[in-house]
Structure 1
Amino acid sequence: MTAFTADAALGEELVALRRRLHAHPEVGLQTPRTQAVLLEALDGLGLELTTGRALTSVTGVLRGALPGPTVLLRADMDGLPVTETTGLEFASADGTMHACGHDLHMAGLVGAARMLAARRAELPGTVVFMFEPGEEGFAGARTMIEEGVLEASGERPVAAYTIHVDCVTPFGSAVTRTGTIMASASVLRIRVAGTGGHAAYPHHAVDPVPVAAEIVLAIQTFAARRIPAVDPAVISVTRISSDSLASNVLAASVDLEANIRTLSRGALATIRGELPTLVTAIGEAHGCTMTVEFVDSYPVTVNDPAETARVLEVLGERYGDRLVLLPEPGMASEDFAFVLEEVPGTLVFLGVQAEGATAPMHSEGAVFDDSGLAEHAATFAELAWRRLHDIR
């Protein structure tokens, strides 16, 4: 039997909070306005509240009246540099947008904090509420870990959970899987330096442009021939630019950037270890000077089997036949992966597709149905409650 129900009055409050957050997104690690709204929303719940040093995070610790372990619940705070075109009354108007649903994530976690705080006397253990800026490419979770979020209660959590909404998944459904659920994300930055020269006399120069073209082809061949087909890896060259400003001037240098996605740590290790060497060798073989940087961004997101079994029991009770098991992982990435490298846990998607809406996440027209926020909050609270009571 579920311990928490979707309270209509709380749901109305959470919708109002979500829309307030949606109207004024902030990008990156510094989200002071968002932080202030969250601190106001959490005030009076009896949480031990702390804020980040290198980023405007919020960490809340709820200590139950009964002894027990610690569970961590996480929501991300930042928006994207996208100009919103939804036409909603509460749409952002400043060139930024909560196009990934982080406004719903925050509101849902605030709701869970209120539900759990109201039953503190029955709570055996501690819940850490992790509100994280900088998820969209800034590795905010990694910084929060460095600043001690996993030790906020005085002991490491035994489990960690997060809920991510999806605006193109049918409303009211819950989606997850055991094991790898999302890909790693890394970047390969390359500079191919030649000597430049006159376009009419390329033999008097070291032209980096055809070398860069050869490198692009080699990168695609590498993915197809060095990584097993059953262990997917996607390498996309996303940027090529030269320093030539005229059609009759050979470039002195070309910059390339490749985005790398893998579903296993082994594939990532192969790419990290071998691809920079290959790229460097090609450039140097043509007489170019090479600068190659491999930048690890987000690790593979892996749902722990034991914790996911617990989560599936909860989701099965709450969502019934609206619970969907993903047949395979997706190639997008999540920096909750940093938490899951340290603490066993699970990432869950909730479908919040609005009627008639088709625009995908991260797009300027993405619309999220927020009428399910009370259930979102209750699901979050249930996951922590059941884990602390260790009801299987």
Structure 2
Amino acid sequence: MIDLIALRRRLHRHPELALHLPETRETLLEAISSLGLRVETSTSSSSLAVVVPGAGPGPTVLLRADMDGLPVTEESGVGFSSSNGNMHACGHDLHMAALVGAVHELTRRREEFEGDVLAIFQPGEEGAGGAELMIAEKVLLTTGRKPLASFGVHVLSFAEAGMFYCREGAVMGATINFELKVLGRGGHAARPHTALDPISTAALIVQGIQTFVAQNSSPADPIVITVGSLRAGTAANVIPNTALLKVSLRATSSQTARDAYRKIAGLGAAIAEAYGLRMTSEVGPDLGPTVSDKEGVELVRQTVGDLYGAGRYKELTVPEMISEDFSLFLEETGGAFVLVGAAVDGTPHQLPTNHSSEARFDDSVVPEIANLLAELAIRRLNIASETNRWA
């Protein structure tokens, strides 16, 4: 039996970024090589698609794990920390190990279902467009049948370990990442009156963004905006020509997010113009909310209850404002996305969050996630076969 926790820690030691993760893919291929399954790889990225066939022909259910890490220097203090300047600070190493475990479990139980389980390992979730790329490369038709449902998970470093969360509708928010570039005129720090300082203007734009949030975000339709990077200048005595803000905007709907972006771009341009500067804006990834459908959520609730007891499942009251490009798979197939608590110790909501250099995850949840994913796939295929809703 494969040691999933050892696999997770091996993956954690060597995180890779964006779309090209050769060492990660090789580790995953090694972990499933003994199963004799059909495996499809891509030349444009490090994606993997693994087909687990059942006892006979039938529909397809998709299971997905994301693969990429973050450009974060790890400070978690765990004995298996990364040392290459990157970090699995969002728990994707747990997701991969769990999906490997699900593939092993499904292979062992293949006589219990008809149809195929399509397990995909997706690179580039952290803003590199991995889901969009895999869909464009027709991964959804790998088995010859478009999946009738997709399931995925995301661990949370700040939620109680072993708790499973889901809800009908948006589980995670919509997001738009964008850049605002303030164009000024450089000069000597001793003569600011002859320059057009982009840094002081950029600071006013940051304040303007936060005021916009305070005046436009409502409890029923929240907006969350973070300026994650403000880069300008190289020396204390030099006024630079430009300042660059990198901004993450999140909302419960794509429409709210896009409306907020347009207003903020206009606000920033107006502030810059008021001080004699210019501002340009450039939109990056624009993802819709991660939406679980009623049938998928009910299956998650029942399956968690049957496997681990009803007390291990909680209904989310509002979406987490984290975003996920798994939303693109759900838009195509329906299904559900499950959040899983993986807090190590302490008071969960006071712990470092995902993406923190100090984030730690309780990897004892990995086998439980693996069992849940396998069981969801089997049950969903059996429901389709029993009702003949796939032919």
- The answer, yes or no, to whether TM exceeds 0.5 is yes
2:26 aligned residue (36, 44, 59): 36
Following the alignment from structure 1 to structure 2, what is the Cα–Cα distance between the partners of residues 64 and 302? 28
Match of 1:263 among 229, 232, 252: 252
Question: How do 1:1-392 and structure 2 match up within 5 A?
Answer: 10=1, 13-197=3-187, 202=192, 204-243=194-233, 245-247=235-237, 249-319=238-308, 320-355=310-345, 358-390=351-383
Distance 1:92 1:207, change over 3 A: closer
When residues 153 and 354 of structure 1 are mapped into structure 2, their CA distance, relative to the original with a 3 A threshold, is: same
Q: Kindly state the Cα deviation for residue 179 of structure 1 after the two structures are TM-superposed.
A: 1.2
How far is the alpha carbon of 1:210 from its aligned partner? Answer: 4.4
Distance 1:20 1:229 in 2: 42
> Is the CA contact 1:179–1:303 (under 8 Å) kept in the aligned structure 2?
yes
- Measure the CA separation in 1 of the matches of 2:181 and 2:9: 44
Change (3 A) 1:253 1:60: same
Find the aligned partners of 2:72 and 2:104 in 1 and give their Cα distance: 31
CA–CA separation in structure 1 for the residues paired with 2:324 and 2:263: 25
Q: Name which of structure 1's ranges 101-110 and 205-214 shifts more when overlaid on structure 2.
A: 205-214
Q: After superposition, what is the alpha-carbon deviation per residue over 1:189-218, rounded to whole angstroms, capped at 9, x for unaligned?
A: 122223334556555544444443443333
In 2, Cα distance between the equivalents of 1:204 and 1:83?
A: 40
Please identify, of 77-86 and 173-182, the stretch whose mean Cα deviation from structure 2 is larger: 77-86
Q: Conserved in 2, the CA contact under 8 Å of 1:139 and 1:298? A: no
Q: CA deviation at 1:117?
A: 1.6
Matched position secondary structure for 1:332: coil
* CA distance in 1 between partners of 2:12 and 2:151 (Å): 23
Show CA shifts across 1:88-145 (max 9, x none): 4433333333232222211211111112122323322111101012222323222222
Which moves more between the two structures, 251-260 or 52-61?
A: 251-260
Q: TM-score if structure 1 supplies the norm length?
A: 0.87
Say how many residue pairs are matched: 381
Residue in structure 2 matched with residue 7 of structure 1 by the alignment: none
- Hey, what's the Cα distance between the residues in 1 that align with 2:336 and 2:138? 20
Change over 3 Å in CA distance of 1:203–1:334 after alignment to 2:
same
Matches of 1:290 and 1:20, distance apart in 2: 45
Tell whether the 8 Å contact from 1:83 to 1:96 is kept in structure 2 after alignment. Answer: yes
> Would the alpha carbon gap of residues 228 and 158 (structure 1) be closer, same or farther in structure 2, given more than 3 Å must change?
same
Query: One-letter code of the match for 1:100?
Result: C
Q: CA deviation at 1:382?
A: 0.5
**Separation in structure 2 between the aligned mates of residue 188 and residue 257 of structure 1, nearest angstrom:** 6
Deviation at 1:58, TM superposition (A): 0.8
> How far, CA to CA, are the matches of 1:82 and 1:370 in structure 2?
20
Give the C-alpha shift of residue 72 in structure 1. Answer: 0.4
Identity in percent: 44
Quote the Cα distance in structure 2 between the aligned partners of 1:359 and 1:243: 31
Q: Which moved more, 1:276-285 or 1:65-74?
A: 276-285
TM-score, normalisation: structure 2: 0.87
Matched residues in 2 for 1:93 and 1:197: separation?
40
The answer (yes or no) to whether the contact 2:249–2:261 under 8 Å persists in 1 is no
**Distance in structure 1 (CA, Å) of the matches to 2:190 and 2:358:** 48
Shift of 1:388: 0.5
Equivalent residues of 1:46, 1:62 under 8 A apart: no
Q: Per-residue deviation at 1:252?
A: 2.8
Instruction: Report the AA paired with residue 136 of structure 1.
Output: E
Give unpaired runs (5+ residues) of structure 2: none
Counterpart residue type for residue 35 of structure 1: R
